[in-house]
Structure 1
C-alpha cells in the first residue's frame, strides 16, 4: 500500500488527503462542528462523515440539530449495559472496516477519550495519517498517538461580543458584575514554549543554518502533535514567527520561476 502524503498541510499546499471523519458524540461538542469541518478541509476531503452515539438520549439533542445540515451520517448505538460504552466499540469496528477498504489516506477522530489511543496507533501502523480533535482535557496518550492534534477550544467563537455590553443607563451599576464575568470568560493563553520551539528550529535548519517555514512547522508537529500557533494568539505559524522578533531572524526567498516567496528563519543570535 502506498504511503499517503504527510501529515500537516503547510500554508501553500492544497489539501489532497481522502479522510474518514468519525465523531464520538459522547465526547465532542456540536457547537464547534462548522469550524471543525472547516479545519478538516485544510488537510483534505472529508469523504466519509459519521457520528456515533445514542441519539434517543436528551444529551444528543444538540447533535441532532446539525446532522442533516452538515451531511453527517448518524450511527445509533444504544447503551446496552450501564457503565459500558458501546459507542466506542461501534466507532472502532467501523474504523477498522473503513481501513480495510483501502480507500482512505487518513482518519479524523473527534473525541476527548483516551480509549481511542489504540485505534490511532493501529491506523498509524497502516501508514495512514491520523488527525485528532478534542478538548484540552484529552489525555496525552491519545494526543501523542495522532500525527496532529487540534484543541477544539480554539475553534469556538469568542463568547465576548458587543452584545455583552450593558446599556448606558445600567453600565455603571453593572460594571463590577461585568468585570467578574469577563474574568471568567476570557481564557488565559498558555505560556509560550520558547525552549521547545528553539530546539525544534535547531533540528530543522539546513546546511546554511536556515529553516524553511514549512519544514519547521512539520517538525514542531512531529515533536508535539498538539502544538498550534492559535493557542498563543496567532492565526498562522508565519504570524507567530514574524511577531517573535527577539527569537527569530526571517528572510523571504523568491521561488525560481514563480512570483511566490517562501519564508525562511533562523534563531537570532543573542
Structure 2
C-alpha cells in the first residue's frame, strides 16, 4: 500500500478570498494529507480579518509578515522562503499554493524541477503563466459554496451545460486527442489512461473548473463520446475517429 502524500499548503492571504478555503482543503484531500498549513500576511492589517476567522477552524498556522516598506509585498518573499525551507526539509511530498499572483511562477517551476507536484488555487484573474505551470490549477470561484441549498457541503458551481462545453474548441480538442492517443486498435480507451494523458500534457487542467468533480462526468456531459463499462473498467470511444 502506498503511503499518503504529505502536502504543504501555503496561502497568500493578501490576494485570495478566505471563502474558498474549505473547498481547497476538500480538493487537496483527494491527493493526500495537508500536514503543513501556513497563511502568510500582515495580521495587523484589518483587511485580513476574514482570514483570521478561518485559521482555527481549519487548523491553519498564521505566518506574520510586517509590511516594512509601503508598496512592497513582503508576503511574497516570506512565502518563497517558507516554500524553499519546506522543499529541503524532506517533510512534504507536494505543495499547494493559494494565490492569484503570477510572481510565484518561478517558484512553481523550481519546485517542479525537484520532482514535487504543485497544486494551484487562485482567482480567475490569475495570469496564465502561473495557471499553466501548476498541476493542476483550480479557480477558487469554483470552490466557494453556494449560499443557496439545504446546507450540505457542495463547493462546486453550476455545471457548464453541454452546449457551452461543445463550443469550447480547446476543451473538445484536448478530450478528443486524449481519447485518440490512448485508444486500442478497436478505438476504445480506458478512462484511467485518458486521465493520465491529459495530466501529462496539460497539467493545469481540472474538471472542477467546469463544475464536474470527475473527468468521466465531464466527458459524459459533452455527449461527444461513447461510454461503456466492462469488467469494472470505464471505456471511452470517439465515434468520429
Report the count of equivalent residues: 229
Check whether the contact 2:178–2:198 (CA below 8 A) recurs between aligned residues: yes
Give 1:178's aligned residue: none
1:16 offset after TM fit, Å? 2.6
1:88 to 2:65 alignment: no
How has the CA–CA distance of structure 1 residues 131 and 232 changed in structure 2, closer, same or farther, with 3 Å as cutoff?
closer
Kept after mapping to 2: 8 A contact 1:109/1:131 = yes
Name the CA shift for 1:141/1:101 in 2 (closer, same or farther; >3 Å).
same
Supply the distance in 2 between the matched residues of 1:233 and 1:89 (Cα, whole angstroms): 34
- Alignment TM-score, normalising by the size of structure 2: 0.86
Cα separation, partners in 2 of 1:206 and 1:212, compared to 1, 3 Å: same
1:180 maps to which residue? Answer: none
Report the Cα offset of residue 15 of structure 1: 8.3
Tell whether 2:223 aligns with 1:252: no
- Note the C-alpha offset of 1:130: 0.9
Among 157, 180, 185, the residue aligned to 1:202: 180
Paired position in structure 1 for 2:153: none
1:137-177 deviation line (CA, Å, top 9, x unaligned): 11111111112111111111224559xxxxxxxxxxxxxxx
The reply to whether residue 212 of structure 1 matches residue 190 of structure 2 is: yes
Residue 187 of structure 1 deviates from its aligned partner by: 10
Q: Residue 15 of structure 1 contacts residue 43 of structure 1 at CA under 8 Å; is this kept in 2?
A: no
Choose the corresponding residue for 1:231, options 183, 187, 209.
209
The equivalent residue for 1:265 is 236
**Superposed CA offset, 1:150-209 (max 9, x none):** 1111111224559xxxxxxxxxxxxxxxxxxxxxxx898765321232122222324543
Compared CA separation, residues 196 and 39, structure 1 to 2 (3 A): same
CA-to-partner distance for each residue in 1:188-241, whole Å, 9 max, x for gaps?
A: 876532123212222232454322212212322333334332333433222222
Within a 5 Å distance, the mapping from 1:135-174 to structure 2 comes to 135-160=123-148
User: Which stretch shifts more, 105-114 or 210-219?
Assistant: 210-219
Per the alignment, in what secondary structure is the counterpart of residue 268 of structure 1?
Answer: coil
Unpaired runs of at least 5, structure 2: 151-157
Question: Cα RMSD between the aligned structures?
Answer: 2.5
Rate the CA distance shift 1:106–1:80 in 2: closer, same or farther, 3 A: same
Structure 2 residue matching 1:26: 3-state secondary structure: coil
| Cα shift at 1:90 | 0.4
Question: What TM-score do the two structures reach when normalised by structure 1?
Answer: 0.77
Change in Cα spacing, 1:103 to 1:43, as seen in structure 2 (3 Å) is same
Taking structure 1 as reference, are residues 215 and 187 closer, same or farther at Cα in structure 2, changes over 3 Å only?
closer
Structure number with bigger Rg: 1
Q: Aligned to 2:14, what secondary structure does the other structure show?
A: helix
8 Å Cα contact 2:136-2:206 kept in structure 1: no
Shift of 1:27: 1.8
Any gaps of 5 or more consecutive residues in structure 1? 1-12, 163-185, 255-260
